Amino acid sequence: MIKVFNSLFVTMFGIGKIKFAPGTFGSLITTIILFYLFHSINISSNIILIGLLVIFIYSFYAISTHTKSSKNKDPGEIVIDELLGQSLPIYLYEISHSTNKESGEAITYYILFFLLFRYFDIMKPFPVNFFDKNFKNSFGVIMDDICAGLYVVLTVICFMLVKSYVSQ
């Protein structure tokens, strides 16, 4: 029973089983779900944070048990790491400056976050590639996507700083 649950968990209930670009679909579904949670049903950011932390912590165990008997320790079907990495810039955007975000503005940023995250997750600049190459376990699977999410945050912050400097 737990093996079946872990398989459903790490594949985001089967999204990871999509043959073409499962990571992209995992990121896209995450983006849609978070937009819905933040902008349609207005769930508290604290509740979302608790949910993301539970997913983060449980992911280490679920990925380990899912890949235990496999030679490939980072199979493409595991997309829960995309959920975690994609959630990072979106969550930080939503809690930034404690201001309400208009849906139109949020959609623009969500699309930007999605595209940047997929770019960094696929291109794997350092330290994303470091975790991907050197940790063939659940830690490496998760941390390369967390680093890709942090690159998105860093990129957007740099863009905003340059924009504010140029507009002065």
User: Can you give the residue range of the structural domain that contains 82?
Assistant: 2-166
Confidence at 97, pLDDT banded by 50, 70, 90: low
Confidence at 103, pLDDT banded by 50, 70, 90: confident
Q: Are 87 and 34 in contact (CB under 8 A)?
A: yes
Number of domains in the chain: 1
Average pLDDT, the chain: 91
Per-residue pLDDT, averaged over 62-71, amounts to 84
- Structural tokens at position 62: 């679920």
Closest CA to 124 of 149, 146, 144, 154: 144
Low-confidence winner among 33-47, 63-77, 118-132 (lowest mean pLDDT) = 63-77
